[in-house]
Amino acid sequence: MTDLETFQFPATGQAVRTFVKNGEPWFLGRDACDVLGVTNHRTSLALLDEDERGVHSVESPSGLQEMVVVNEPGLYSLILRSRKPQAKAFKRWITHDVLPAIRKTGRYEVASQFQIPQNYAEALQLAADQARQIETQAKQLAIAAPKAEYVDGFVNAREDASVLRLFAGQVGTTEPKLRDYLRNRKVIHRRTVDNRWSSSRGRMEPVYQWLPYADYRKWFVAKDQPEAPRLHNGQMRTTLYVTPLGKVEIRRLLMKHPIAVDAA
């Protein structure tokens, strides 16, 4: 078990517990989810890649508990899922305050910079060790940062979204199968907004509106269908599109839990 260092997110006063393992900062997954308003902790943390999460023993009133922890790339993945307005402020706080504070305390494997070499050979060795540590940290940040920076700077969730039918083809399935898959996994749900006569079936058929569950709102965006028949109340119909973040997360979900193949 490693000692935890607790930081308080200024915007909300919520605690975020951290520790350093093998020179890499880790964060308690539940703390990050609470700050970001991610209510379904287990599902959101389970969707992270294996190299983005781990398990750590944490002291609690009832004794030691195994809790899910996330590294920097995993934390940025959680930030991208959050629909809370403070998500961007949280990311800035982590990168500008928390990580520099960890490094300053020497708990980010930079304590050796305060050692005083006793001779020329020790000085050379110390310089070489510090260079390797700086290189390792730079590589970690290079891997983690693009996720946050790319989405902040270049991705427009509405303009870059794809209709479900197109995205289904991109992941090797059909729209009905993908819709049923997401519905069964409680990612999206439907509600009846109208009824229309079906000439082919000779009966009234419901008109559905598809909606994401709260934890997955950033995965989708609803777009108006100006050319489609209006609903009985004159309201314009909408179609659910998959955002860039949704494409990444749904593909990741499909890799972990593939759509079952129909029996021949």
What pLDDT is attached to residue 205? Answer: 82
Q: Write down the pLDDT at residue 263.
A: 40
What pLDDT is attached to residue 50?
A: 84
In one-letter notation, the amino acid at residue 202 is G
pLDDT tens, 101-111? 777 664 433 33
Domain regions of the chain by residue span = 5-153, 162-256
* pLDDT tens sequence across 8-63: 888 888 889 998 887 788 999 999 998 988 878 888 888 888 888 899 888 776 77
pLDDT more than 70, % of the chain: 73
Q: pLDDT-derived band of residue 156, with 50, 70 and 90 as boundaries? A: low
Binned at pLDDT 50, 70 and 90, residue 115 comes out as low
Residue-wise pLDDT tens digits, 172-226: 899 999 999 999 999 999 888 778 777 887 888 887 888 999 888 889 998 887 7
The pLDDT > 90 percentage for the chain reads 14
Is the confidence at residue 68, as pLDDT, over 80?
Answer: yes
Report pTM: 0.47
Give the residue among 58, 70, 59 at the shortest CA–CA distance from 29. 70
Q: Which residues contact 102 (CB under 8 A, 6 or more apart)?
A: 5, 18, 20, 25, 108
Q: What is the mean pLDDT of the chain?
A: 78
Q: For residue 191, what are its two tokens?
A: 């509600």
Per-residue pLDDT at 69 exceeds 90: yes
pLDDT tens digits, 87-100: 888 888 888 888 88
Task: Give the model's pLDDT for residue 200.
Answer: 81
CA–CA dist 75, 93 (Å, integer): 12
Q: Single out the residue of 2, 11, 58, 3 nearest to residue 30, CA to CA.
A: 58
**Banded pLDDT at 237 (limits 50, 70, 90):** confident
